[in-house]
């Protein structure tokens, strides 16, 4: 009587039995690594912009205050992008013939806004308010890094949920006096962050890590 299965069927069965779970685990691991990589999170990646604007030059060398361009950072959820008129406050007087600034001059002449590529792009289900962080003692460089040293802006942190939650669990170590919110060279001093947390009326960290704080 002929055998129903050939001998190699045992090998195939073993490979399938042990290989399938391994393949699934490997695929899950690859997805996790990709999602947490710079390619997945966007961290450390620059974007091609319509104008080669350098924060290192404007914020670093010239010392222009963040609020001059990002006018709603203290009053609204979004920091705001500078209008062409703000750019032309200076560039109607300096670098007036620069080829680099042709898009800015065209925008000013036609009234068509420049289309900037978002660098920090939170999912629609995540709520983030710049103004509350500013007023509670979180400085720009905490989330944006040394932006005054960046010729081209890139996303400094991963923006993964664990990064946000880590700060909300221990906010005191990230707090600074209001006078230093926009100071890119600020470093923690002798005044404990716990005192600033009390002064700013920051609530218990358990409430700050509630889902509804960021997901509304």
From first to last of the 216 residues of the chain, give the pLDDT tens digit.
455 666 676 777 777 777 788 888 888 888 888 878 888 888 888 889 999 999 999 999 999 999 999 999 999 999 999 999 999 999 999 999 899 999 999 999 999 999 999 999 888 899 999 999 999 999 999 999 999 999 999 999 999 999 999 999 989 889 999 999 999 988 876 567 888 998 999 877 778 889 999 998
pTM for this entry: 0.81
Say whether both 172 and 101 belong to one domain. no
Say whether both 196 and 90 belong to one domain. no
Say whether both 68 and 156 belong to one domain. yes
* Nearest to 133, CA basis, from 182, 81, 195: 182
Q: Where are the alpha helices (DSSP H) in 37-157?
A: 38-41, 55, 66-69, 84-91, 102-110, 130-135, 140-144
Question: Domain containing 24: what range?
Answer: 8-36
Tokens found for residue 187 = 């470093």
- Domain assignment present for residue 158? The answer is yes
């Amino acid at each position: 009587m002929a055998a129903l299965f050939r001998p190699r069927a045992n090998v195939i069965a073993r490979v399938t039995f042990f290989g399938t779970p391994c393949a699934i685990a490997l695929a899950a691991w690859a997805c996790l690594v990709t999602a947490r990589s710079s390619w997945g999170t966007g961290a450390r990646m620059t974007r091609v912009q319509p104008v080669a604007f350098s924060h290192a030059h404007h914020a670093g060398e010239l010392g222009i205050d963040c609020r001059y361009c990002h006018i709603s950072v203290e009053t609204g959820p979004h920091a705001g992008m500078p209008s062409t008129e703000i750019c032309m406050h200076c560039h109607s007087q300096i670098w007036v013939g620069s080829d680099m600034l042709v898009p800015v001059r065209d925008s000013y002449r036609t009234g068509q806004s420049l289309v900037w590529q978002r660098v920090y792009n939170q999912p629609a289900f995540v709520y983030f308010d710049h103004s509350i962080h500013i007023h509670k003692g979180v400085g720009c460089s905490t989330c944006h890094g040394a932006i005054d040293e960046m010729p081209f802006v890139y996303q400094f942190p991963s923006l993964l949920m664990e990064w946000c939650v880590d700060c909300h669990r221990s906010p005191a170590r990230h707090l600074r006096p209001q006078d230093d919110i926009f100071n890119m060279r600020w470093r923690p001093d002798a005044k404990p962050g716990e005192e600033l947390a009390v002064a700013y009326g920051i609530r218990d960290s358990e409430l700050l890590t509630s889902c509804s704080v960021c997901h509304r």
